[in-house]
Structure 1
């Protein structure tokens, strides 16, 4: 590995000089929309540049090769030293020359990966260094210690090597996330409300809802806490939820307070209500055990959970919409409407990938006893995960 920085410097310096002479440079067609530029040097060495288009090649002009190579030589030496002292077969180090040398035309980030394959490896023993300069281009140096030839390849833009490195880093992030004792996420519940176990109010009217118009929306900041050792699929889900329940009445009724009691009444004679709803905002806290299974790549694959929740009403109001004398009128009235401030219930979910089907059932009545219609709330729908 001692020859690698010297090899890199020698080849690229020679390439920089030879690239100015057209006798040593040729353009070879590669895959669709790709070009391969092969720089042949007098000492039989070569440098290969893989480019997607001419614009990527022009990006190299912003760097002075001689200064860049001196910079790389020092960084590769540090990475090699770290590799020798590491028990791992691969060591990756990141450097930030733009911060170290402000004002100079140098890459913002340089990532160097050193791979060592020992004598016991089934493959041919080799040392490998991969250098990535920001998102612009990368340099790969292979030194075959079994008498093979040395070569340098410079890749501009996306390459097979950089893609594999990114995939490996992405996989490592997934595994690191999967092994965390606490997972945090944000999701949105979109669904509808229904009233069950309904009973008549003081006027003998039973509330009926317009199903699709009685919407349920919840913004959820969840924490999934692993129960058990690393690799356990059992979690406890909790975290604050901001929920919006809308109850859209059917049958040309509206909510009204009469002598401290909430009832359903008809509007003034001859008036037809386009919309009549009761909106309730509450904050909830779930406590739900959940099984969360992951695929081989560490992605969440399947979830199932059941538990309970508690909540508190933050605010509520009614809103009616109607036509009067050729114009649209909207009346909005804030109030408690004898709704229960505290609520509790059970809930469950079944999920695949980034989608969950959820259901929530309030065990306590929606309105206070003998102060409003008898009913309990059932909400169900789909969750969109972050």
Structure 2
């Protein structure tokens, strides 16, 4: 809608509300007590929808000339933003009461420009434009212009305060989504849930291979990620980084256990008379990923598809073994803390792929899980699903 049309319309509306006018200019609609139809001399029709008469009186609190000047300035800014946006709706909020303390102006003015889908932003649509103007926190004005192609124009003006219109709520939601999408850096918290496995195993003479129980060797990671946009505004390319607190559990087959002796960690059978029911090695670490990502959104601004691949580095925070066994007719548990000759520093590659709110991940440690010649030679691979915030 062109501003040259909207401003005279609002001027006439406010003038009708703030003056007594003739009795024939305003008449109640027969089907709705809160509807007022305004017949103009040029046979145009304006329809006002109000909750009660108090809402109309609210407009009298403002000076018409000052209010029109404010709306003229704000609508111009909203039109400019709408022309530069690819979104179907652009909402801007202004706070004249803060800018002009002591003046009789609204506390808040919200302008929502609606661009018709499929047409270039900012151009006047053949079938009509839609503009929402909300004055203060008490009531709102909504202006619709529709052209049916036969030369007949229909204009509706709505005034109401019971709740925000669906269009305003949708505009605010889209504005938040667009603002987040265009933010240079945004953070999120997610949780990785998965499983661990050992690959490239090499068994030292006299040692048993550390065969893991797949479903019990769990991987959990608490991630505070920062996605840093690479490139200009709207670019789908990001760099993901941020601390990850990871917990790797290596659950052995029940007949074996991890044990350190003489400076070497090995997988051995338990002591005679012990019947193991649980045997695991738990390792905690802090990791830092560096992973380029492509993140795409659908027409509604929702996350649609993501894919990324990169590397990570990590440092071991702690480790302990835990065994549960039957001995002498009773159940016992032993928990021992130590380094178990695990590598303190870890590094590797990782990748992720996601659709909507579901992400799958995989991580592979390029260096050995244990120090060379001081523990089982193997690399760790972790994979699973990410729970997004």
TM-score, normalised to structure 2, is: 0.71
Alignment of 1:189-338 (within 5 A): 189-200=192-203, 203-322=206-325, 329-338=332-341
Q: Which residue matches 1:20?
A: none
Q: Give the SS at the match of 1:283.
A: strand
Q: Secondary structure at the match of 1:83?
A: helix
CA contact (8 A) 2:55 2:160 kept: no
Which residue number in structure 1 is paired with residue 35 of structure 2?
A: 38
Assess, with a 3 A threshold, how the Cα gap between structure 1 residues 296 and 39 changes in structure 2: closer, same or farther.
closer
Q: Aligned residue for 1:153?
A: 158
Match of 2:13 in 1: 7
The separation in 1 between residues aligned to 2:63 and 2:214, in whole angstroms, is 66
Q: Greater shift after overlay, 255-264 or 81-90?
A: 81-90
Match of 1:375 in 2: 378
**Structure 1 unaligned regions, length at least 5:** 15-22, 29-35, 50-56, 102-106
- Cα distance per residue 1:208-257 (max 9 Å; x no partner): 11111111111222333444444544433332222111111113322222
State how 1:332-347 maps to structure 2 within 5 Å: 332-347=335-350
2:176 aligned with 1:177: no
Which shows bigger deviation, 73-82 or 269-278?
Answer: 73-82
What SS does structure 1 have at the residue aligned with 2:197? Answer: strand
Q: CA separation of 1:126/1:241 partners in 2, compared to 1, >3 Å: closer, same or farther? A: closer
What count of residue pairs does the alignment treat as equivalent? 353
What CA RMSD, in Å, does the superposition of the two structures yield over aligned residues? 4.5
Q: TM-score, normalised by structure 1?
A: 0.72
Change (3 A) 1:273 1:138: farther
* Residue-by-residue CA offset, 1:178-206 (whole Å, 9 max, x unaligned): 34444433322111000112233564211
Query: Residue 110 of structure 2 corresponds to which residue in structure 1?
Result: 111
Would the aligned equivalents of 1:76 and 1:112 in 2 still touch at CA under 8 Å?
no
Structure 1 position 369, deviation (Å): 1.5
Residues 303 and 322 of structure 1, relative CA distance in 2, 3 Å threshold: same
Match of 1:140 among 124, 130, 142: 142
- Displacement of 1:301 in angstroms is 2.4
1:200–1:45: structure 2 CA closer, same or farther, 3 Å change rule? closer
Distance (whole Å) between structure 1 residues aligned to residue 295 and residue 128 of structure 2: 42
Q: Is the contact made by 1:8 and 1:141 (CA closer than 8 Å) also made in structure 2?
A: no
- 3-state SS of 1:88 partner: helix
Aligned counterpart, 2:72: 80
Structure 1 pair 12/378, CA: closer, same or farther in 2 (3 Å)?
Answer: farther
- Which moved further from structure 2: 325-334 or 162-171? 325-334
Change (3 A) 1:71 1:114: farther
Answer whether contact 1:256 1:264 (CA < 8 A) is retained: yes
Structure 1 CA distance for aligned equivalents of residues 370 and 265 of structure 2: 9
Deviations 1:139-163 (A, max 9, x none): 325699x99787642345556xx32
| Residues 36-60 of structure 1, C-alpha deviations (whole Å, 9 max, x = no match) | 84367999986424xxxxxxx7xx8
Moved more, 254-263 or 335-344: 254-263
Listed one character per residue, the Cα deviations across residues 21-41 of structure 1 (whole Å, up to 9, x for unaligned) are xx968765xxxxxxx843679
Runs of 4+ in 1 over 6 A off after TM superposition: 40-46, 96-101, 124-127, 146-150, 324-327
Displacement of 1:176 in angstroms is 3.8
**Contact kept? 2:17, 2:57, Cα under 8 Å:** no
Indicate the residue corresponding to 2:166 in structure 1: 163
Structure 2 residue ranges without an equivalent (≥5):
1-6, 21-26, 83-90, 116-122
Change (3 A) 1:132 1:207: farther
> Structure 2 CA distance, aligned partners of 1:226 and 1:353?
19
* SS of aligned partner of 2:80: coil
Relative to structure 1, the CA distance from residue 75 to residue 354 in structure 2 (aligned partners, 3 Å threshold; closer, same or farther) is: farther
